[in-house]
Structure 1
Amino acid sequence: MAGVAGLAFAYLLMARRGTGRPARDRWRTAFFLTGCALVAVALLPPIAPFAHEDFRGHMLQHLLLGMYAPLALVLGAPITVLLRALPAQRARDLTGVLRSRPVGVLAHPLTALTFSTGSLIALYCTPLYNATATRPALHWLLHAHFALSGCLFAWVIAGPDPAPSRPGVKARLFVLGAAIAVHAVLAQLMYGGFLIDVHAPVAQVRGGAEIMYYGGDIAELLLAAALVATWRPARRTVPLRPKPERAASVR
């Protein structure tokens, strides 16, 4: 929890150093602090002990860490806040890193979709989840994966910060639709007990599937709303027509 508090404090410090529009910056600060609060809620009692004992608690924790908290954190525009707080040379260096090819590949929507949504298939359709339930190190790595992959996906789809490989709105809506479809199908398979490898009572697995289905839908609708809210249409420049030359007056 010290890490979450340190993250919130660092953001507030950078936001104070930077310059921008006060009203917009207040909203961004509120979003980021909300994201930090959601991470804290997921990792503290009563949800954390519930997640260790019940698969439904795990799914609730997964939604908070992997979908709701990342969206709020990303809407805080942390990259923009950091760039404003850094000295000019360091800001240029960071901008160069963000525009590099490796970051471009990482920030591609299909890469983000694979890390955030595709990894759920590996988690629940293989013995991986059962291994994380008995090994604390894997359990915390899973938490980190949920949070980081969720932030990556939210940033690529609807983040106010610039992303190097961000396509147009239609392409991002298509990727978001693919994520919704995978979540829905996986939740239905989980509820029916097909192709799922989760060692938990049937009632818990079905309850977790319902949390995943309905809670995931709400989170994805919020992400779609953020995409629309942060979308800025490209400005079309109308070429100036040359003024007609006046005919020379005859004296």
Structure 2
Amino acid sequence: MDTTHHHGESDTGLPGAALAALVLLAAAVGYLLAVRRARHRNPAQGWNRWRAASFLAGLALLALALLPPLAPAAHSDFRGHMVQHMLIGMYAPLVLVLAAPVTLLLRTLPPAWARRVTRVLHSPPARLPAHPAVALALSTGVLGLLYFTPLYNTAMGHPAGHWLMNAHFLASGCLFAHVIAGPDPAPARPGVRARLVYLGIAIAAHALIAQAMYGGFFVDIHAPIDQVQHGAEIMYYGGDIAELLLAAALVATWRPERRPGPPAPSTVHRRSGHFPARAGSRR
């Protein structure tokens, strides 16, 4: 473990913070306009207010991670980086996904465009990353590559690399949360038991990476040892809490499949051509 800390060029100045704030504001306005359009097109069905609140909460978590004072700390202190990682890669994706943005989009698009989007979502290129194994590899498996190779130091040494790393955290976190517990349609989503297995693998992988980081095994992070150990603790406990919340979301959004029961006796007799005899009648 390298005890030096390479700061690189700062990417957390006023232009970067202003751009992040504008993007988040545009996302909030776009979602709220889509909610208004959905309610206007179908007043009876409307749109769940809790979903809208969930989306705004997710944007608030992203703002906390991408704006000062946390953003400068994330660039200069590994503990700040890990807090930012937890917010961008685990907590914000969960509440953003629970807002069902794809469902909202399909309700607001014209029917022809909605059918096109649905075909894209059902296409093989879209189904592949939506498989839990692929989503797990992109969200959790990449962490080993990031912290046990020079990739983290390279990314932190360049502003573009830092932004790309955060973008990956957000995209992969949203993908995994969507696959495990998202309310939006997912054609490649397996059953609840399989999703719980993948979630358990993610919990175990996060714990192993955090423990290896704390012990300094194969870690390639240019930061003081105490910062790396504190960052590992944040990852260990913060990751457990986030994954427990994801498991709770899975249970809350799970709907058991209804199996058709046996047909009523009258239906059976109608189909077979025989009818039950009335009481007191003779054969």
Aligned ranges for residues 64-75 of structure 1 at < 5 Å?
A: 64-75=87-98
Query: Which structure's CA Rg is the greater one?
Result: 2
Query: Unpaired runs of 5+ in structure 1?
Result: none
Q: What does 1:150-229 align with in structure 2 at a 5 Å threshold?
A: 150-229=173-252
1:7-18 mapped onto 2 (5 Å cutoff):
7-18=27-38
- How many percent identity over aligned positions? 63
Matched residues in 1 for 2:168 and 2:235: separation?
17
Give the CA deviation at 1:167.
0.2
Unaligned runs of 5+ in 2: 1-20, 270-274
Shift of 1:21: 4.5
Please give the alpha-carbon distance, in whole angstroms, between the structure 2 residues aligned to 1:211 and 1:242: 61
Deviations 1:193-251 (A, max 9, x none): 00111110000000000000000000000000000000010011113134252348569
Quick check: 1:36 aligned with 2:59?
Answer: yes
Q: Which has the higher contact order (CA 8 A, sep 6+)?
A: 2
- Map Cα deviations across residues 98-137 of structure 1 (whole Å, 9 max, x no partner): 1111111110000100100000000001000000111111
Q: Which amino acid aligns with 2:175?
A: L
Amino acid of the structure 1 residue aligned with 2:250: L
* SS, match of residue 256 in structure 2: coil
Secondary structure at 2:71's aligned position in 1?
helix
Find runs of 4+ consecutive structure 1 residues off by over 2 angstroms. 19-22, 241-244, 246-251
Aligned to 1:114: 137
Contact 1:51 1:57 in 2 (8 A): yes
Contact 1:103 1:164 in 2 (8 A): no
Do structure 1's residue 3 and structure 2's residue 23 form an aligned pair? Answer: yes
1:246 pairs with 2:276: yes
Tell me how far apart the structure 2 counterparts of residues 55 and 105 of structure 1 sit (CA, whole Å): 33
CA distance in 2, matches of 1:74, 1:209: 26
Distance in 1 between residues matched to 2:277 and 2:255, nearest whole Å: 44
**Cα displacement (A) at 1:67:** 0.3
Looking at structure 2, the residues matched to 45 and 114 of structure 1 have their Cα atoms a distance apart, in angstroms, of: 31
Residues 200, 250 of structure 1: CA spacing in aligned structure 2 closer, same or farther, 3 A cutoff?
Answer: closer
Secondary structure (helix, strand or coil) at the match of 2:107 reads helix
In structure 1, C-alpha distance between the alignment counterparts of 2:175 and 2:118, rounded to whole Å: 17
CA distance in 1, matches of 2:188, 2:57: 27
TM-score by length of 1: 0.96
Number of aligned pairs? Answer: 250
Equivalent-residue separation in structure 1 for 2:254 and 2:82 (angstroms): 31
C-alpha distance in 1 between matches for 2:133 and 2:164: 22
Let me know the Cα RMSD of the aligned residues: 1.5
